[in-house]
Amino acid sequence: MTPGIRERFCTVVLDVDSTLCGIEGVDWLAKRRSPEIATLVAAETNRAMRGDKPLEAVYGARLEAVRPSAKDVLALSLAYSGTIAPGARVALAKWRAAGIETLLISSGIRQAVLPVAEDLGIPAASVFAVDLEFDANGGYAGFDERSPLATAMGKRDLLASLAPGRPILAVGDGSTDAAMRSASDAFAAFTGFVARHAIMSQADFVVSSFDQLDEIVLGVAR
């Protein structure tokens, strides 16, 4: 191997909220309700992402507090699109050209993530998130409670079941992302939007931008 060059990764697994995009989806939806609900939901999100509480202990309660409608989810998708991390679009295009597979594994709302993935050239089959359910009027009617992605270890378990090409790099900002370390070959803590020291301490790499992440994915040592 040429000095200064590492083996590139064959698969990149990206979190969405506060990694690929600069917002936490359910927190963003909560702000559309009231300051009280926004504060409550954000606190629970932070506890889960730090690993202080298992995600399954807060997932349904947060959604029940917000009760997002189909229109709310459409608005969230547009908000995601407006906060795509700087450099992400270019990096994903480079990985695609190099034959590197990108998977989105998110505990967020699948209906909101899919349009963003399509815009970035990621096929729907490579997007894993939690489906919401709506009534005939587009009102909130629950979520897919069978989804492993509504649990603390769900991303790890899902990735292990997929068995994509190795080596695999998992990327994210929270405890559910760090849990993927045991199902991948390396974990990169992304700090471009939120820096959580407990997560950074578990990472093989700490990156604050997609430019830095791109060098790691393609095997270019700095």
Q: Describe the strand order of the beta sheet including 205-207 as a list of residue ranges.
A: 127-130, 101-109, 11-14, 168-172, 186-190, 205-207
**Cα atoms in the Cβ-side hemisphere of radius 13 Å centred on 122:** 26
H or E element at residue 25:
helix 25-31
Catalytic residue among 17, 27, 72, 214: 17
- Does the annotation count 17 as an active-site position? yes
* Token pair of 68 as six digits: 């997002």
Task: Give residue for tokens 């393609």.
Answer: 218
Radius of gyration of the chain (CA): 17
* Token pair of 206 as six digits: 């700490």
Q: Is 115 exposed, middle or buried (0-12, 13-18, 19+ CB in 10 A)?
A: middle
- Does the annotation count 131 as an active-site position? no
Q: Which of 80, 83, 90 is nearest to 110 (CA)?
A: 80
Catalytic residue among 15, 72, 173, 177: 15
CA distance 203 to 140: 37
Using CA atoms, how far residue 33 sits from 26, 28, 97, in Å, is: 11, 10, 42
- Catalytic residue IDs: 15, 17
